[in-house]
A = this chain, B = another copy of it.
Amino acid sequence: MIDSAELLGRSIDQIPTPALLVDLEVFESNLRRLAAFCQAHQVAWRPHTKAHKSPHIARLQLEAGACGITCAKLSEAELMAEHGIGDILIANQIVTPAKLLRLAQLQRRAKVMVAVDNIQAVPLLRDAAQRAHARIPLLIEVDIGMKRCGVQPGLEALELARSICQAPELILRGLMGYEGHVLTLRPPEAKSAACAQALNLLITTRDLLLSHGLPVETISAGGTGSYQLTATHPGITEIQAGGGIFMDAMYRQVFSVTDLDYALTILTTVTSRQSTHVVVDAGFKTMSAFHHPPQVLGREDLKLRYLSAEHGVFEIEAGPGPQIGELVQFVAGYSDSTTFLHDFFLGMRQGKVEQVWEILGRGKLY
Protein backbone atom coordinates (compact mmCIF):
# COMPACT_ATOMS: atom_id res chain seq x y z
CA MET A 1 0.00 0.00 0.00
CA ILE A 2 1.29 3.43 -0.87
CA ASP A 3 1.88 5.82 1.98
CA SER A 4 0.90 9.33 0.95
CA ALA A 5 4.25 10.71 2.19
CA GLU A 6 5.98 8.61 -0.50
CA LEU A 7 4.40 10.85 -3.09
CA LEU A 8 6.49 13.92 -2.17
CA GLY A 9 8.64 15.06 -5.04
CA ARG A 10 6.90 12.97 -7.67
CA SER A 11 6.00 14.43 -11.03
CA ILE A 12 2.42 14.32 -12.20
CA ASP A 13 2.89 11.18 -14.28
CA GLN A 14 4.21 9.29 -11.24
CA ILE A 15 1.17 9.87 -9.06
CA PRO A 16 -1.17 6.91 -8.55
CA THR A 17 -4.60 7.95 -9.72
CA PRO A 18 -7.18 9.06 -8.96
CA ALA A 19 -5.70 11.88 -6.90
CA LEU A 20 -6.82 15.25 -5.62
CA LEU A 21 -4.38 17.96 -6.68
CA VAL A 22 -3.99 21.53 -5.48
CA ASP A 23 -2.09 23.95 -7.69
CA LEU A 24 -0.16 25.75 -4.96
CA GLU A 25 0.51 28.94 -6.95
CA VAL A 26 -3.18 29.39 -7.65
CA PHE A 27 -4.23 28.30 -4.17
CA GLU A 28 -1.88 30.81 -2.55
CA SER A 29 -3.09 33.53 -4.88
CA ASN A 30 -6.75 32.79 -4.02
CA LEU A 31 -5.86 32.76 -0.33
CA ARG A 32 -4.14 36.15 -0.59
CA ARG A 33 -6.97 37.64 -2.63
CA LEU A 34 -9.69 36.56 -0.23
CA ALA A 35 -7.71 37.78 2.77
CA ALA A 36 -6.83 41.07 1.08
CA PHE A 37 -10.40 41.69 -0.02
CA CYS A 38 -11.65 41.23 3.54
CA GLN A 39 -8.88 43.39 4.94
CA ALA A 40 -9.53 46.15 2.40
CA HIS A 41 -13.19 46.20 3.41
CA GLN A 42 -12.49 45.92 7.12
CA VAL A 43 -14.45 42.75 7.58
CA ALA A 44 -13.02 39.77 9.44
CA TRP A 45 -12.47 36.55 7.52
CA ARG A 46 -13.61 33.37 9.28
CA PRO A 47 -13.42 30.84 6.44
CA HIS A 48 -15.58 27.76 6.55
CA THR A 49 -13.33 24.70 6.61
CA LYS A 50 -15.96 22.34 5.25
CA ALA A 51 -14.34 22.35 1.82
CA HIS A 52 -10.93 21.26 3.12
CA LYS A 53 -11.34 19.67 6.60
CA SER A 54 -7.60 20.09 7.02
CA PRO A 55 -6.03 21.65 10.13
CA HIS A 56 -2.98 22.46 8.02
CA ILE A 57 -4.99 24.52 5.55
CA ALA A 58 -6.83 26.17 8.45
CA ARG A 59 -3.43 27.22 9.78
CA LEU A 60 -2.50 28.68 6.38
CA GLN A 61 -5.75 30.65 6.39
CA LEU A 62 -4.97 32.04 9.84
CA GLU A 63 -1.46 32.97 8.73
CA ALA A 64 -2.97 34.75 5.73
CA GLY A 65 -5.07 36.86 8.09
CA ALA A 66 -8.21 34.91 8.96
CA CYS A 67 -9.59 35.80 12.42
CA GLY A 68 -10.60 32.19 13.08
CA ILE A 69 -12.38 29.41 11.26
CA THR A 70 -15.87 28.06 10.77
CA CYS A 71 -16.81 24.38 11.13
CA ALA A 72 -20.04 22.49 10.53
CA LYS A 73 -19.63 19.79 13.16
CA LEU A 74 -18.56 19.54 16.79
CA SER A 75 -16.13 16.73 15.97
CA GLU A 76 -14.52 18.92 13.30
CA ALA A 77 -14.15 21.71 15.85
CA GLU A 78 -12.63 19.24 18.34
CA LEU A 79 -10.11 18.17 15.69
CA MET A 80 -9.22 21.75 14.82
CA ALA A 81 -8.82 22.67 18.49
CA GLU A 82 -6.56 19.64 19.03
CA HIS A 83 -4.39 21.03 16.25
CA GLY A 84 -4.10 24.38 17.95
CA ILE A 85 -6.79 26.40 16.23
CA GLY A 86 -8.00 28.79 18.91
CA ASP A 87 -11.06 30.57 17.53
CA ILE A 88 -13.86 28.55 15.97
CA LEU A 89 -17.48 29.07 14.98
CA ILE A 90 -19.65 25.97 14.65
CA ALA A 91 -22.18 27.33 12.17
CA ASN A 92 -24.74 24.62 12.97
CA GLN A 93 -27.02 23.92 15.91
CA ILE A 94 -26.07 21.55 18.73
CA VAL A 95 -29.02 20.46 20.84
CA THR A 96 -28.32 17.25 22.74
CA PRO A 97 -26.92 17.15 26.30
CA ALA A 98 -23.96 14.88 25.53
CA LYS A 99 -22.76 17.01 22.64
CA LEU A 100 -23.39 20.24 24.50
CA LEU A 101 -21.20 18.96 27.32
CA ARG A 102 -18.42 18.23 24.80
CA LEU A 103 -18.90 21.74 23.42
CA ALA A 104 -18.67 23.25 26.90
CA GLN A 105 -15.57 21.20 27.71
CA LEU A 106 -13.99 22.27 24.44
CA GLN A 107 -14.04 25.88 25.65
CA ARG A 108 -10.93 25.02 27.71
CA ARG A 109 -8.97 24.52 24.51
CA ALA A 110 -10.43 27.15 22.19
CA LYS A 111 -13.05 29.86 21.89
CA VAL A 112 -15.85 27.95 20.22
CA MET A 113 -19.02 29.80 19.30
CA VAL A 114 -22.07 27.87 18.20
CA ALA A 115 -25.24 28.77 16.31
CA VAL A 116 -28.55 28.69 18.16
CA ASP A 117 -32.01 29.07 16.65
CA ASN A 118 -34.41 27.70 19.25
CA ILE A 119 -35.25 28.99 22.71
CA GLN A 120 -35.67 25.39 23.89
CA ALA A 121 -31.93 24.96 23.46
CA VAL A 122 -31.09 27.67 25.99
CA PRO A 123 -31.62 25.64 29.18
CA LEU A 124 -29.68 22.75 27.62
CA LEU A 125 -26.79 25.09 26.80
CA ARG A 126 -26.88 26.51 30.34
CA ASP A 127 -26.87 23.11 31.91
CA ALA A 128 -23.89 21.95 29.86
CA ALA A 129 -21.97 25.13 30.63
CA GLN A 130 -22.63 24.70 34.35
CA ARG A 131 -21.50 21.09 34.32
CA ALA A 132 -18.25 22.02 32.54
CA HIS A 133 -17.70 25.21 34.57
CA ALA A 134 -17.46 27.06 31.28
CA ARG A 135 -19.23 29.82 29.41
CA ILE A 136 -20.48 29.20 25.90
CA PRO A 137 -20.44 31.99 23.29
CA LEU A 138 -23.37 32.01 20.88
CA LEU A 139 -24.49 33.46 17.60
CA ILE A 140 -28.23 33.54 16.98
CA GLU A 141 -28.88 32.12 13.53
CA VAL A 142 -31.47 34.18 11.70
CA ASP A 143 -33.34 32.92 8.65
CA ILE A 144 -32.65 35.65 6.12
CA GLY A 145 -34.64 34.03 3.35
CA MET A 146 -33.04 30.66 2.73
CA LYS A 147 -35.75 28.89 4.76
CA ARG A 148 -33.41 26.28 6.22
CA CYS A 149 -32.36 27.06 9.80
CA GLY A 150 -32.69 30.18 11.90
CA VAL A 151 -35.19 32.12 13.96
CA GLN A 152 -37.25 34.71 12.15
CA PRO A 153 -35.69 38.19 11.99
CA GLY A 154 -36.98 40.74 14.48
CA LEU A 155 -39.06 39.73 17.47
CA GLU A 156 -38.27 36.01 17.45
CA ALA A 157 -34.56 36.82 17.49
CA LEU A 158 -35.14 39.37 20.24
CA GLU A 159 -36.94 36.85 22.41
CA LEU A 160 -34.10 34.34 21.99
CA ALA A 161 -31.48 37.02 22.67
CA ARG A 162 -33.21 37.98 25.92
CA SER A 163 -33.32 34.39 27.04
CA ILE A 164 -29.60 33.98 26.32
CA CYS A 165 -28.68 37.21 28.09
CA GLN A 166 -30.49 36.10 31.23
CA ALA A 167 -28.10 33.16 31.47
CA PRO A 168 -24.75 34.04 33.06
CA GLU A 169 -23.25 30.84 31.59
CA LEU A 170 -23.96 32.00 28.03
CA ILE A 171 -22.43 34.84 26.06
CA LEU A 172 -24.40 36.39 23.24
CA ARG A 173 -21.85 37.39 20.60
CA GLY A 174 -24.20 38.36 17.83
CA LEU A 175 -26.06 37.12 14.79
CA MET A 176 -25.45 34.80 11.88
CA GLY A 177 -27.27 34.32 8.59
CA TYR A 178 -26.68 32.59 5.30
CA GLU A 179 -27.83 34.16 2.03
CA GLY A 180 -27.61 30.86 0.17
CA HIS A 181 -30.85 31.51 -1.70
CA VAL A 182 -29.43 34.45 -3.68
CA LEU A 183 -26.32 32.81 -5.09
CA THR A 184 -27.68 31.72 -8.45
CA LEU A 185 -29.64 34.90 -9.21
CA ARG A 186 -28.95 36.79 -12.44
CA PRO A 187 -28.33 39.40 -13.70
CA PRO A 188 -25.74 40.68 -11.20
CA GLU A 189 -28.02 43.56 -10.19
CA ALA A 190 -30.77 41.13 -9.17
CA LYS A 191 -28.29 39.07 -7.12
CA SER A 192 -26.87 42.16 -5.52
CA ALA A 193 -30.31 43.50 -4.60
CA ALA A 194 -31.51 40.19 -3.18
CA CYS A 195 -28.28 39.80 -1.22
CA ALA A 196 -28.62 43.28 0.26
CA GLN A 197 -32.26 42.63 1.15
CA ALA A 198 -31.32 39.40 2.94
CA LEU A 199 -28.40 40.94 4.83
CA ASN A 200 -30.52 43.91 5.87
CA LEU A 201 -32.64 41.47 7.86
CA LEU A 202 -29.55 40.84 9.97
CA ILE A 203 -28.88 44.55 10.32
CA THR A 204 -32.45 45.49 11.33
CA THR A 205 -32.44 42.61 13.80
CA ARG A 206 -29.14 43.83 15.19
CA ASP A 207 -30.62 47.32 15.61
CA LEU A 208 -33.64 45.89 17.40
CA LEU A 209 -31.43 43.98 19.84
CA LEU A 210 -29.16 46.99 20.41
CA SER A 211 -32.20 49.20 21.06
CA HIS A 212 -33.12 46.80 23.85
CA GLY A 213 -29.66 47.01 25.34
CA LEU A 214 -28.60 43.57 24.13
CA PRO A 215 -25.06 43.04 22.82
CA VAL A 216 -24.39 42.34 19.13
CA GLU A 217 -20.67 42.48 18.38
CA THR A 218 -20.59 40.00 15.53
CA ILE A 219 -22.65 39.71 12.37
CA SER A 220 -21.48 36.70 10.41
CA ALA A 221 -22.67 35.71 6.93
CA GLY A 222 -21.52 34.92 3.47
CA GLY A 223 -20.05 32.10 1.45
CA THR A 224 -17.76 32.24 -1.57
CA GLY A 225 -20.72 32.57 -3.94
CA SER A 226 -21.50 36.08 -2.69
CA TYR A 227 -18.40 37.09 -0.77
CA GLN A 228 -17.80 40.40 -2.53
CA LEU A 229 -21.37 41.49 -1.93
CA THR A 230 -21.49 40.30 1.65
CA ALA A 231 -18.09 41.60 2.73
CA THR A 232 -18.99 45.09 1.53
CA HIS A 233 -22.46 45.21 3.07
CA PRO A 234 -22.51 47.79 5.87
CA GLY A 235 -22.70 46.17 9.29
CA ILE A 236 -21.43 42.71 8.38
CA THR A 237 -18.46 42.08 10.68
CA GLU A 238 -17.22 38.76 9.38
CA ILE A 239 -17.69 36.44 6.42
CA GLN A 240 -17.45 32.66 6.23
CA ALA A 241 -16.38 32.26 2.58
CA GLY A 242 -14.17 29.18 2.54
CA GLY A 243 -14.34 27.27 -0.74
CA GLY A 244 -12.91 30.19 -2.70
CA ILE A 245 -9.38 29.07 -1.83
CA PHE A 246 -9.95 26.20 -4.27
CA MET A 247 -12.59 27.68 -6.58
CA ASP A 248 -14.58 25.30 -8.75
CA ALA A 249 -16.77 25.12 -11.82
CA MET A 250 -19.97 25.79 -9.88
CA TYR A 251 -18.66 28.98 -8.29
CA ARG A 252 -17.52 30.17 -11.71
CA GLN A 253 -20.36 29.01 -13.95
CA VAL A 254 -23.38 29.13 -11.67
CA PHE A 255 -22.48 31.67 -8.98
CA SER A 256 -20.53 33.95 -11.37
CA VAL A 257 -17.43 34.23 -9.18
CA THR A 258 -14.77 35.38 -11.64
CA ASP A 259 -11.92 36.86 -9.62
CA LEU A 260 -10.51 33.60 -8.24
CA ASP A 261 -8.85 30.84 -10.22
CA TYR A 262 -9.18 27.05 -10.35
CA ALA A 263 -6.74 25.47 -7.87
CA LEU A 264 -8.40 22.09 -7.32
CA THR A 265 -8.27 19.29 -9.87
CA ILE A 266 -8.77 15.55 -9.96
CA LEU A 267 -6.15 13.52 -11.78
CA THR A 268 -7.42 10.33 -13.41
CA THR A 269 -6.28 7.65 -15.82
CA VAL A 270 -8.17 6.20 -18.77
CA THR A 271 -8.65 2.52 -17.92
CA SER A 272 -11.03 1.41 -20.66
CA ARG A 273 -11.56 2.59 -24.19
CA GLN A 274 -14.51 1.81 -26.42
CA SER A 275 -15.55 3.00 -29.87
CA THR A 276 -17.73 5.84 -28.57
CA HIS A 277 -16.45 6.47 -25.05
CA VAL A 278 -13.66 6.08 -22.55
CA VAL A 279 -13.75 5.19 -18.87
CA VAL A 280 -11.52 6.86 -16.29
CA ASP A 281 -10.68 5.49 -12.83
CA ALA A 282 -12.77 8.07 -10.98
CA GLY A 283 -16.49 7.80 -10.38
CA PHE A 284 -18.79 9.43 -7.85
CA LYS A 285 -16.68 8.14 -4.97
CA THR A 286 -13.82 10.31 -6.24
CA MET A 287 -15.31 13.34 -7.96
CA SER A 288 -18.89 14.27 -7.28
CA ALA A 289 -21.23 15.67 -9.90
CA PHE A 290 -23.34 17.03 -7.03
CA HIS A 291 -24.28 19.91 -7.36
CA HIS A 292 -22.17 20.51 -10.48
CA PRO A 293 -20.25 18.15 -12.79
CA PRO A 294 -16.45 18.11 -12.98
CA GLN A 295 -14.98 19.78 -16.07
CA VAL A 296 -12.41 18.18 -18.34
CA LEU A 297 -9.24 20.29 -18.21
CA GLY A 298 -7.24 21.19 -21.30
CA ARG A 299 -9.08 19.12 -23.88
CA GLU A 300 -12.32 19.51 -25.77
CA ASP A 301 -13.02 15.99 -26.96
CA LEU A 302 -14.62 14.43 -23.88
CA LYS A 303 -18.09 14.96 -22.48
CA LEU A 304 -19.39 13.45 -19.23
CA ARG A 305 -21.90 10.68 -19.85
CA TYR A 306 -22.25 9.52 -16.23
CA LEU A 307 -20.33 8.65 -13.08
CA SER A 308 -20.86 5.29 -11.46
CA ALA A 309 -19.15 4.43 -8.18
CA GLU A 310 -15.65 3.90 -9.55
CA HIS A 311 -16.06 4.52 -13.29
CA GLY A 312 -16.27 7.92 -14.97
CA VAL A 313 -17.76 7.42 -18.42
CA PHE A 314 -17.00 10.07 -21.05
CA GLU A 315 -18.27 10.35 -24.61
CA ILE A 316 -15.57 10.89 -27.24
CA GLU A 317 -16.98 13.87 -29.08
CA ALA A 318 -14.23 14.45 -31.62
CA GLY A 319 -11.04 12.85 -32.85
CA PRO A 320 -9.52 9.61 -31.60
CA GLY A 321 -9.91 10.37 -27.89
CA PRO A 322 -7.36 9.35 -25.23
CA GLN A 323 -5.67 5.95 -25.10
CA ILE A 324 -5.71 3.62 -22.11
CA GLY A 325 -3.15 4.76 -19.58
CA GLU A 326 -3.47 8.40 -20.61
CA LEU A 327 -3.99 10.96 -17.84
CA VAL A 328 -7.13 13.10 -17.89
CA GLN A 329 -7.48 15.93 -15.40
CA PHE A 330 -10.70 17.56 -14.19
CA VAL A 331 -11.56 20.82 -12.49
CA ALA A 332 -13.72 20.04 -9.46
CA GLY A 333 -17.42 20.60 -10.13
CA TYR A 334 -18.08 21.65 -6.54
CA SER A 335 -15.09 21.66 -4.21
CA ASP A 336 -17.20 21.00 -1.11
CA SER A 337 -18.73 17.81 -2.50
CA THR A 338 -15.36 16.60 -3.84
CA THR A 339 -12.62 17.08 -1.27
CA PHE A 340 -14.35 15.11 1.52
CA LEU A 341 -14.16 12.00 -0.68
CA HIS A 342 -10.35 11.95 -0.36
CA ASP A 343 -7.78 11.20 2.32
CA PHE A 344 -5.25 13.81 1.23
CA PHE A 345 -4.49 16.75 -1.03
CA LEU A 346 -1.35 16.72 -3.14
CA GLY A 347 -0.01 20.27 -3.34
CA MET A 348 1.68 20.69 -6.75
CA ARG A 349 4.29 23.24 -7.76
CA GLN A 350 6.14 23.27 -11.07
CA GLY A 351 4.71 19.87 -11.91
CA LYS A 352 5.89 18.16 -8.73
CA VAL A 353 4.27 17.13 -5.44
CA GLU A 354 5.51 19.68 -2.91
CA GLN A 355 2.97 19.10 -0.12
CA VAL A 356 0.82 16.25 1.16
CA TRP A 357 -2.01 17.53 3.34
CA GLU A 358 -4.11 14.92 5.08
CA ILE A 359 -7.85 15.55 5.19
CA LEU A 360 -8.04 14.70 8.88
CA GLY A 361 -11.55 16.05 9.34
CA ARG A 362 -12.94 13.60 6.87
CA GLY A 363 -15.57 11.42 8.54
CA LYS A 364 -15.83 13.78 11.54
CA LEU A 365 -19.60 13.87 11.24
CA TYR A 366 -20.59 13.74 14.89
Q: Which of A1-23 contact B (CB under 8 A)?
A: 1-2, 14, 16-19
Whether the pair B1, A310 counts as a contact (CB closer than 8 A) is no
Any chain B CB within 8 A of the CB of A143? yes
Main secondary structure of the interface of A (DSSP, over half): loop
B contact residues around A254 at 8 Å (CB): none
B contact residues around A143 at 8 Å (CB): 274
- Interface range for A: 35 or more
A177 → B minimal CB distance (Å): 14
Whether the pair A75, B285 counts as a contact (CB closer than 8 A) is no
Whether the pair A281, B120 counts as a contact (CB closer than 8 A) is no
- Looking at A163-171, A201-209, A358-366, the stretch in contact with chain B turns out to be A358-366
Any chain B CB within 8 A of the CB of A95? yes
B contact residues around A340 at 8 Å (CB): 285
Whether the pair B365, A362 counts as a contact (CB closer than 8 A) is no
Whether the pair B310, A73 counts as a contact (CB closer than 8 A) is yes
Any chain B CB within 8 A of the CB of A108? no
Chain A positions 306 through 329: 1 when the CB is less than 8 Å from some CB of chain B, otherwise 0: 001111010000000001110000
Any chain B CB within 8 A of the CB of A218? no
- A366–B271 alpha-carbon span in the complex (Å): 12
Whether the pair A279, B149 counts as a contact (CB closer than 8 A) is yes
Using a CB–CB cutoff of 8 Å, the interface residues on chain A facing chain B are 1-2, 14, 16-19, 50, 72-73, 75, 78-79, 82, 92-96, 98-99, 102, 117-118, 120-121, 124, 143, 147-150, 269-274, 276-277, 279, 281-282, 284-286, 290, 308-311, 313, 323-325, 336-337, 340-343, 362-366
